[in-house]
Amino acid sequence: MQNNIAETGNLETPYKTAKNCRHYAMCKIDFLDSGVCASGLEKHFVSFYPQGRMILYEALVENKISVTEKCVEIADSCNLCGKCDYQCYFVNEMRPTKVMEALKHHVETFIKNGGKIKLTKDDRILSEIKKIVGDNWATNDEAITVTYSHDLSPISEPKIPDYIVMPNTKEEIASLVKLCKKNNIPYTMRGNGQNLLGFAIHEGVIIDLNRMKTIEFDEKNWLVTVGPGVAAFDLQKQAQKRGYRINASEPAALVCANIMCSGIMSTFSTTYGINADNFIDAEFVDNDGSFFSLNDVSSPNLYSYKNLQHKSSPGICVSASIKLHPVTDDESGILVPFQTLDKALDFIKDCAVRHIGLALGVVGTEYISTFLASTKKLASEIKNIFINKLDIPYLVVVIGDKFAIHTISEMGFPFFDQRHFRALYLGLPSLKSAQWLNLIKELSDDEPYSYLRIKSFAELLETALFPSPAIYSQDIDPELRPFFEKLFARQEITDLVWLNMYRIMSTRIGRKKPFLPVLIYLPIDNVLINELKDKFSLIAEKYQIDNDFGFITPIDNGKRCIFEYDYFFDHNDPDEIRRIRLAATDANILVDEYSVKTGTVKGHPYVLYQGFCRKENLLYS
Amino acid sequence: MSVKNKPTIALTGVTGFLGSHLMTSMLSRGYKIIVLGRPTKEETLQERISKLLRWFGIEELSGQLELVNIDFLKPMLGLQEANYKKLSAITDQIIHCASDTSFAERKRDTVFKSNVNSLESILEFAANANVKFFHYISTAYVAGANVTICKECITSSTDFLNVYEESKAQAENIIITFCEKNSIPFTIIRPSIVYGDSHTGRSLRFNALYFPIQSLKYIKEIYMNDIKNHDGKKSNQNGIFIDKEGYLCLPLRIYLPKEGALNLIPVDYFVNATMKIITKASSGGIYNLTNNAHTKLEIISKYNEKHMKIRGVEIIYGKSFDNVLRNPAEELFDRFIEPYRLYLSDNRIFDRVNTDLITDNLYPPEFTYEIFKNCMEYANSVNWGESIFAEENKKNQQC
């Protein structure tokens, strides 16, 4: 029997939705406090989360796999609760529930039409794996394995692994490593599959760490020890409950995997640091299946850094002791507008050198408009308004206590404070048709953003935009509107501190198209940064790739910064994938050239497997 | 008069307000015009001029018009030697209209670059072309801030209200010195605040007089929307409401240092007077194109009350608002009029002996409600300039 579109009815829309899954794993964390897919929480395999079902459905429609036992179980386990619609719509403006329905329909139709469900037998290796982790936590069923064939990278080709294993202890991981080594089977660790370089997919065994979610606080020592399955969002949530903060990477990224691959970085890295600044110790299973801890005298020196692009993994990080940071009750966020990148860079450098603010980051209009707008269409309109009407091509996000915010005010920079931000955010749909924006532009002619100096500007903004959850939600899919109205009535969702500490502000950046960030470490040298920015843009233009400035965050007291430039691509367009690969190669070559030329520029891909290194070794050696 | 009998005029600033009106007026009077201009990122010079001509109702470029892409900041106007020589050979007179009209101090460098630094190449061109006249469109406000009577003579003031006035005064001095040294006959034409056509209200630019009115319009819209489409709480908090006659009652106090008035002239008067000056000019003539009938802010406020249906605007003289609790609308409006505040309190008297003599007692009209209404209705109809070329662009696309 053929599992094609024609036989299963009008599947174009669910199929297109499935094909457009970004694989960001945001359906695996409860970032909207709306709950997470129940079957995913129970079964743990990604296949039982909406993300996995999207891939499964795509594979079924494309006849890549047959309807198997696990396929039926996966389809049946979805109760069509619709939670994934909330999560995916917030991030990508997509509604996966249609795909979940289509998957169920596909399987039901297959069975109704007498289709034979494929039974997958255990082979010798799988039997041995199951002896280690138990029957429920290892499989070679293709409905499961296919859902591990993707990651975020446009560089890698999808690969269907042979086995998926979900260990629960470090001892199980050690045994798995020994088994694989003995049988000469390649194995790959997987967190939430967010690797940008294609390292989360492989043939052989995929070891999914998502069952290992232990979080143990040691408040006396300002530490929290996490298992390798803990996502940044979940850890931050626990830390916040106890009055602390961690330096968090992308919300769905697993903390240990993130340190391993690239080191934790965020706008808070200005204060909290990068790489080895973020932890005290970590435990590993080495490539022979033995254990070591970073603090052991005899352990490999993972604090060192080699400027090499191709390195092997030192082992599997099975736990890490992450630093907790204090939080004060007077923190707030502001957005400081700038007409040029140079002025924004001068500002963040000045702040970083003087230790003003906890988190600092220059962002472009693509970043800010994409985050603020509820839909892609509105984001595009708002981006134009920022550039053409408000004359704001760059903004600096600052999170700081009242003294930091007061100091910035004293420095003479007009800014959008938290109240302005909330009004702007919740009143955004009104902004696109606001005639008075023409007036604002005239005011800017007098002094940049002089309107922000008007004492009652917040009240004016509130009167003009009439910000409210209902106004914000007016462009949202009507079926989802009631949920979003409730969501946006919550304070934290428009709170710059919350949005930044949980890294929610950057979650929509791939909504229009998936993106490939070019990340580099370099001095805050305006000429150098502008030169690189222009050259990244030229590379993108050469290959006709959408591109934009990402962000810049100062680190190490303003001596260096992290610079992200983004290339956007359609992951369903083979020609665009070909072009993004060429652009990525050219960008890497460019970074290498500058690395040699300046002696101060470091490309991010070099950090792979060296995320535990000291930042001093990375930045200055 | 046939084209043959008219001088060929090289005109700068044609894409601006005054320059565009001068160009079309001179074309209609049979002059041959050489437009010295530049393209933008979006449009060629030809496209910019064609768009302007369509706005003036002139469908096709006639043989009277020649366009030359130039760069004031480059030697020989950025032209090849052959083209420069050819241009020099055919130019009889120059009207230098190009100007940056920004008042903002932060734009000092740009303003001086446009209004002063660029003079070197255009004056050098005037000398090389051996022109019969160099006419400079300046401003009546070069006289300086602290004079009572602004005479039609060289200014020596060093005290100006803003960088625009300062740059124009400096430019005048450079031009006069250069022209006298090189025996180039010249005139200086100094208009005051120019608004749209006094008969039709049409205008290409909506600054100066228009800014405060536009500001009030948008402030009104914000509060009308709050009252009509939302709960009106914000308006209520600030004592803003719609009265029985449908007027928006908007308490808005405008604080000015002293009583004074605006000196307003319509663009049609500017064009007609300038044409008379150009036709009859004698070298060294300085002409104030100003209005003896000044317009007090109270008058404009009264006009606006009737036109926009707004009540509550109050003008307060000689008092500081530093310790006064102000509503958001007042704060916004105040910020908006800041660059113009001193012009609203202006008491300067403009001497126009030279002008009266040369223009055969041609006077600008008094600024009546009818004129105000026409001007504001036109401004509104083109969304204060935002959609001014929309019709023309549409027609062009259809073509």
- pLDDT tens, position by position, A12-23: 489 999 999 988
Q: Give the nearest chain B residue to A439 (CA atoms).
A: B215
Among B215, B328, B384, select the one facing A460 at the smallest CB separation: B328
B226 Cα to chain A: minimum distance (Å): 6
CB A292 within 8 A of CB A231: no
Which whole number is the average pLDDT over B196-212?
92
A466, B327: Cβ pair inside 8 Å?
no
B219, A445: Cβ pair inside 8 Å?
no
A530 Cα to chain B: minimum distance (Å): 21
Which candidate, B329, B192, B347, places its Cα nearest to that of B256?
B347
Strand bridging mode A163-165 / A187-190: unpaired
Per-residue model confidence (pLDDT) at position A7? 39
| Rounded Cα distance, B359 and B381, in Å | 33
Residues B215 and B323 in one domain: yes
Tens-digit pLDDT profile for residues B366-381: 999 999 999 999 999 9
A chain contacts of residue B329, beta-carbon cutoff 8 Å? 460
Residues B27 and B171 in one domain: yes
Residues B41 and B182 in one domain: yes
CA A609 to chain centre: 18
Instruction: Report whether pLDDT(B212) > 80.
Output: yes
B234, A456: Cβ pair inside 8 Å?
no
Is residue B124 one of the residues assigned to a domain?
yes
Is residue B267 one of the residues assigned to a domain?
no
A chain contacts of residue B226, beta-carbon cutoff 8 Å? 463, 466
A chain contacts of residue B381, beta-carbon cutoff 8 Å? none
- Whether residue B78 lies within 8 A of chain A, CB to CB, comes out as no
A189 phi and psi angles, rounded to 5 deg: -85, 145
Ranges under pLDDT 70 in chain A: 1-12, 194-201, 310-311, 441-448
Is residue B170 one of the residues assigned to a domain?
yes
Is residue B62 one of the residues assigned to a domain?
yes
ipTM of the complex: 0.79
Instruction: Report whether pLDDT(B344) > 90.
Output: no
**Domain around B237:** 210-259+296-344
Residues B83 and B159 in one domain: yes
B chain contacts of residue A455, beta-carbon cutoff 8 Å? 326, 331
Instruction: Quickly list H helices, B58-162.
Output: 81-90, 108-112, 119-128
Is residue B46 one of the residues assigned to a domain?
yes
For A227-293, the DSSP string reads -TT-BHHHHHHHHHHTTEE----STTSBHHHHHHHT----TTHHHH-SGGGGEEEEEEE-TTS-EEE
Q: What pairs with residue A515 in β-bridges?
A: A568
B chain contacts of residue A451, beta-carbon cutoff 8 Å? 332, 335
Residues B181 and B217 in one domain: no
Per-residue model confidence (pLDDT) at position A2? 41
| Rounded Cα distance, A557 and A65, in Å | 53
A448, B106: Cβ pair inside 8 Å?
yes
Residues B62 and B129 in one domain: yes
CB atoms within 10 A of CB B338: 14
Is residue B81 one of the residues assigned to a domain?
yes
| Rounded Cα distance, B103 and B101, in Å | 6
Tens-digit pLDDT profile for residues B285-299: 999 999 999 999 999
The answer for B 87-106 residues in CB contact with A (under 8 A) is 102-104, 106
- Whether residue A438 lies within 8 A of chain B, CB to CB, comes out as yes
Q: Give the nearest chain A residue to B326 (CA atoms).
A: A456
Residues B221 and B89 in one domain: no
For A303-372, the DSSP string reads TS----S------EEEEEEEEPEE--TT-EEEEEEESSHHHHHHHHHHHHHTT--SEEEEEEHHHHHHHH
Among B214, B230, B234, select the one facing A459 at the smallest CB separation: B234
Per-residue model confidence (pLDDT) at position B102? 86
Per-residue model confidence (pLDDT) at position A9? 41
Residues B18 and B167 in one domain: yes
Per-residue model confidence (pLDDT) at position A310? 67
Instruction: Report whether pLDDT(B240) > 90.
Output: yes
B chain contacts of residue A460, beta-carbon cutoff 8 Å? 222, 328-329, 331-332
Is residue B393 one of the residues assigned to a domain?
no
Instruction: Report whether pLDDT(B397) > 90.
Output: no
Q: Which two tokens stand for residue A611?
A: 């995320």
Q: Give the nearest chain A residue to B214 (CA atoms).
A: A439
Query: In 3-state terms, what secondary structure has residue B195?
Result: strand
Name, in order, each residue with C-beta under 8 angstroms of B5's C-beta and a sequence gap of 6 or more: B30
A6-26 as b/e: b if 16+ CB within 10 A:
eebeebeebbebbbbbbbbbb
A443, B386: Cβ pair inside 8 Å?
no
Residues B138 and B249 in one domain: no
Question: What letter represents residue A619's amino acid?
Answer: L
Tens-digit pLDDT profile for residues B55-92: 999 876 668 899 999 998 899 999 999 999 999 999 99
B chain contacts of residue A456, beta-carbon cutoff 8 Å? 326-328, 331
Is residue B14 one of the residues assigned to a domain?
yes
Q: Mean pLDDT score of chain B, rounded to an integer?
A: 91
Residues B100 and B156 in one domain: yes
- Whether residue A388 lies within 8 A of chain B, CB to CB, comes out as no
Best of A446, A451, A465 to disrupt the B interface by mutation (most B CBs within 10 Å)?
A446
- Whether residue A427 lies within 8 A of chain B, CB to CB, comes out as no
A436, B335: Cβ pair inside 8 Å?
no
Domain end, chosen from B141, B159, B191, is at B191
**In chain A, what are the domains?**
12-112 (no CATH), 131-208 (3.30.43.10), 213-326+525-549+573-621 (3.30.465.10), 332-501 (no CATH)
A chain contacts of residue B103, beta-carbon cutoff 8 Å? 446
Residues B44 and B125 in one domain: yes
Please report where in the chains the tokens 């020890």 appear, as a residue. A225
- Rounded to the nearest 5 percent, the helix, strand and coil shares of chain A are 45, 15, 40
Residues B173 and B305 in one domain: no
- Whether residue B233 lies within 8 A of chain A, CB to CB, comes out as no
A chain contacts of residue B211, beta-carbon cutoff 8 Å? 442
Per the structure, how many domains does chain B have? Answer: 2
Per-residue model confidence (pLDDT) at position A6? 39
CA B148 to chain centre: 23
Rounded to two decimals, the pTM is: 0.88
CB A512 within 8 A of CB A92: no
